[in-house]
Structure 1
Amino acid sequence: MLKQFFLPLAVAGLVILLGMAMSQPNRLFWHSLEVTVTAYNSTRAQTDSTPNRAAWNNRLKPGMKVIAVSRDLISEGLTNQTEVYIEGFDEPYVVMDKMNSRFKRRIDIYFGKDVQAAREFGEQKAVIYWR
């Protein structure tokens, strides 16, 4: 009788824990990589004559949680519209832009038009997670 009660309960608990583990960034079920993290803005000086249009033709607007990725990360699965968690940040970001091919293992966080905030952010190292 106890076996009939506890076995389904144990299985249900395992399924719940597995679901939680897969929904939160972690090294077991998600890809992870340490990268250099910098910041960029929608300005002609930092982009081109269409500063609000990203390399995959996505339109950028200040306030969006967007990152650009170095092109070597695209082959790792960080393609257009991939959701990425950055260690130390509360919310996920979405890949919507590509960086110049000279950069390696790097992401750029979009700071809209706030050039001062981007400068203050500077350059950091962080672990990123994606599926």
Structure 2
Amino acid sequence: MINRQNGSISLASIVFLASVALTGCDTSDSERTTQRTDTSQTDEVDPWSRMEVRASSYTLDPRETRAAGDQIGAFGHKLSPDQKIIAVSRDLFRAGLIDGTEVRIEGLDGVYTVRDKMHRRWREKIDILFAKRARALKWGIQTVTIHYRPPLAH
């Protein structure tokens, strides 16, 4: 004969253990939120655009600039040989290569900034500022891939 009291205690124990076991298999709300957050971070859009251009070189030698010795770029910025500066052909403005745009040039270290523009006759071209004439001549003219991102609006 089964004691009703013992039978109901056993049934209550089974129900309790089953509910604890099933609850332990579920992830908590905070874990679900973290998983969603981590997944969304991998979906970020790369802010750098990519383009292939011809790249020549220049120095601040008065023979290579528009005005003898002024060292002022076409956007009105004072240029210095120690800065990582590029000039761009005017057709590249439409692609987003405007004054202040940051540019990475494959084959060169660092980030360059658009601070000068080239004569209107040039198309799909950049001009890289070098401190030394020998280094500029060594660079010559190359086809390169650049990665760029326009400056943030103020």
Range class of TM-score, shorter chain: 0.7 to 0.9
- 2:58 is matched with which residue? 40
- 1:10 aligned to 35, 40, 43, which one? 35
Give, in angstroms, the shift of residue 42 of structure 1: 0.2
Asked if 1:66 corresponds to 2:91, the answer is: no
**Is the contact made by 1:43 and 1:51 (CA closer than 8 Å) also made in structure 2?**
no
- Deviation digits for residues 48-75 of structure 1 (CA, Å, limit 9, x no counterpart): 2244110011101111011000111012
Q: Where does the alignment leave 5 or more consecutive residues of structure 2 unmatched?
A: 1-25, 150-154
- 2:143 is matched with which residue? 125
Work out the CA distance in 1 between the residues paired with 2:120 and 2:28.
59
Supply the RMSD in Å over aligned alpha carbons. 1.9
Give, in angstroms, the shift of residue 6 of structure 1: 4.2
TM-score scaled by length of structure 1: 0.82
Q: Secondary structure at the match of 1:75?
A: helix
Give, in angstroms, the shift of residue 39 of structure 1: 0.8
- 2:71 aligned to 45, 48, 52, which one? 52
TM-score scaled by length of structure 2: 0.71
**Is the contact made by 1:70 and 1:99 (CA closer than 8 Å) also made in structure 2?**
yes
Q: Give the number of aligned pairs.
A: 123
Identity %: 33
Work out the CA distance in 2 between the residues paired with 1:58 and 1:70.
17
- 2:48 is matched with which residue? 30
Letter in 2 for 1:83: E
Taking a change above 3 Å as real, the CA distance of residues 16 and 120 of structure 1, as seen in their structure-2 partners, is same
Asked if 1:79 corresponds to 2:104, the answer is: no
Work out the CA distance in 1 between the residues paired with 2:126 and 2:113.
11
Q: Secondary structure at the match of 2:95?
A: coil
**Is the contact made by 1:65 and 1:93 (CA closer than 8 Å) also made in structure 2?**
yes
Larger radius of gyration between Structure 1 and Structure 2: 2
Give, in angstroms, the shift of residue 14 of structure 1: 2.8
